[in-house]
Amino acid sequence: MSTMELCISSTAPHRSLHSSLSRDSLSLPSCSSVRFRQTGLNFQHKLSFLSGHAHPLEPLVSPSIPRRFAASVAVGTESDRLPADIKVSEVEEPNSRVRLSVEVPPAVCEDCYRRVMKELTKQSKIPGFRPGKHVPESILLSYVGKKNVQKATVESILERTIPHAMSSVSGRALKDSVRIVTKYSDMEQAYSSQSSLRYDVIVDVAPEVKWVPEDGYKNLKIVVEIDRDIDAQEACKEELKRRHKSLGALRIVTDRGLQMGDVAVLDISATTIDQDESNVQRIPSAESKGYQFDTEDGDKVLPGFVDSIIGIRQGETKAFPLAFPESWRQEDLRGVNALFTVECKELFYRELPELDDSIAEKLLPGCTTLKEVEESLSAKCREVEETAREQATDNAILDQLRKMVEIDIPRSLFEEQGRQLYGAQLLQMQASMKLNEQQLASLSSPKAVNEYLESQKENIISIIKQNLAVGDIFKRENLQFSSEELVKEVRSSIEEFKRHKQDYDEDRIQEQVQEILEGAKVLEWLKEQAEIQYVTR
């Protein structure tokens, strides 16, 4: 039986506030995240093992609000003035999208046509004409092909007019989200017959963050659940007990049954209980061969399991019914009535040395007395408790913020965040399993990515909401951090890259560090404003 399946997990899932992964930059190394752990912020590596290969996860553009938008989508419009104004009508659409209907007048189309013809004259090598010299239009059209010239002209029109059309959404548009929705064949036909052009583009824009209630984040009431396991006093006792047990020797039990404190090697099987015997099914996740079970860990397994096997002797088999509680971690087992069959293969008791000063050095190197051991362990446990308490507080605040905002999330933002998370997951798999090229290609396929996006939809949306909520608070409350903080952290992060001999983009690092510092300032500010209650579970 796997302890992951049988045991009750006491660790809460960690929610990362920021995760950044880009096709053209390397995120900060994981060791950098230690400095920000108390804020709940985290970094992700770039998929460096994929560098140099086309990859379906690209482009991965980070979704945080203030700096992630194409504030300069209209760059170049001043230097490339059009001979006439284009007409643009704007319509808001669901999912924070804007449809721009663009009408390009004949004068602009004609100007684009002349530019195309001039460029073709430079590039074409037409027999009888020196390169770059004037070629009669009819001859050039005949040589290049009228159809090809029309296509080149339509492309030129789009290239020159889209930046002008986008000026109304400059600063709001998400990068790389512009999509021309008019069919190319329709544009080509319209141009050839009318000497003008109409087309529609759709662009994702910065979603509006709506707080419910308005400014509700200013008066948060947070209940933070703290695991009993992280209580410094209890944790210190458990750690001392664990170290003491590690010094003991296991002795075979021959004359009695299982008692508390013993260690048993068990073969376990389980089936569902059903009045219809033909409908009885095995429960694979609750089965194991040679499972080494420490009775002192009984509070972490299925309620009633330990009590049901107390007294079992080596070589003996016991069968007993147990019900999985409704709060069980595995949803498919909640409320299931099961029949367990347990065979005791081996049975041991621990022979422990006296817990006194004589074993202090073995319990904790450098200590000469049991009191020193307890004081040192207690200090470490208090540090762990404080860190865990801070992390739990941050997670509780972020969860509350997510529930207080209504956001119409653009599809492109959702996909980018999801691809970042999937990219980080692939990176972890590659580090732990050393995936080969075939496995990596399969896991990186569009199908695999889309399946991940669908299965993790709720989690992805939650992370986006948290990111946008934090960014909105930083802006609303005019929070700031010093330039000295930014410079210090950027310098420290660059040193991390150099230490790991990794390439880096200093501007990208500065952007990421700035987001980390913003998040830290927001969480710090919220803690000062919030009413926080701690509950031990």
pLDDT in tens, the chain (537 residues): 333 334 433 333 333 323 322 222 223 233 222 222 233 333 222 222 222 222 333 322 333 333 344 433 444 455 678 999 999 999 999 999 999 999 999 999 999 999 998 888 787 777 767 666 677 777 778 778 888 888 999 999 999 999 999 988 988 888 888 999 999 888 988 887 778 899 999 999 999 999 999 988 998 999 998 887 788 888 899 899 999 999 999 999 989 999 999 999 999 999 998 767 677 888 998 898 999 999 988 777 889 999 999 999 999 999 999 999 998 888 888 899 999 999 999 999 999 999 999 999 999 999 999 999 999 999 999 999 999 999 999 999 999 999 999 999 999 999 989 998 998 888 888 878 777 888 888 888 999 999 999 999 999 999 999 999 999 999 999 999 999 999 999 999 999 888 878 788 888 888 889 888 999 999 999 999 999 998 887
Position 374 in a domain: no
Distance between CA atoms of 131 and 537, rounded to whole angstroms?
83
Token pair, residue 141, equals 């059209």
Residues 256 and 165 in one domain: no
| Final residue of a structural domain among 351, 368, 401 | 351
Residues 519 and 399 in one domain: yes
Count the domains in the chain. 3
Angstrom CA distances, 402 to 15, 396, 408, 472, stand at: 12, 10, 13, 12
The DSSP code for 11 is P
Per the structure, the complete domain to which residue 269 belongs is given by: 249-351
Distance between CA atoms of 456 and 452, rounded to whole angstroms?
6
Asked if 21 and 60 touch (Cβ cutoff 8 Å), the reply is: yes
Position 81 in a domain: no
Residues 288 and 175 in one domain: no
Residues 313 and 289 in one domain: yes
Residues 275 and 397 in one domain: no
Closest CA to 164 of 238, 75, 226: 75
Q: How many CA atoms lie within 13 A of 98 on its CB side?
A: 20
Distance between CA atoms of 29 and 24, rounded to whole angstroms?
15
Position 237 in a domain: no
Residues 272 and 324 in one domain: yes
Q: What is the CA radius of gyration of the chain?
A: 33
Token pair, residue 129, equals 């004409």
Residues 388 and 514 in one domain: yes
Distance between CA atoms of 214 and 230, rounded to whole angstroms?
36
CA 33 to chain centre: 14
Core vs surface per residue 433-460: b (16+ CB within 10 A) or e? eebeeeebeebbeeebbeebbeebeeeb
| Secondary structure element (H or E) that encloses residue 474, with its range | helix 457-476
The DSSP code for 354 is P
Closest CA to 160 of 215, 199, 121: 199
Task: Please name the residue ranges forming H helices in 325-369.
Answer: 360-363
Token pair, residue 403, equals 């529930």
Q: Is the whole-model pTM more than 0.85?
A: no
Q: How many CA atoms lie within 13 A of 175 on its CB side?
A: 16
Residues 137 and 35 in one domain: no
Distance between CA atoms of 186 and 181, rounded to whole angstroms?
11
Cα-Cα-Cα-Cα dihedral sign, residues 433, 32, 473, 389: positive
Distance between CA atoms of 468 and 323, rounded to whole angstroms?
43
Residues 495 and 402 in one domain: yes
Distance between CA atoms of 360 and 15, rounded to whole angstroms?
39
Q: Which residues contact 367 (CB under 8 A, 6 or more apart)?
A: 360, 361, 373, 376
Residues 61 and 101 in one domain: no
Residues 452 and 528 in one domain: yes
CA 425 to chain centre: 8
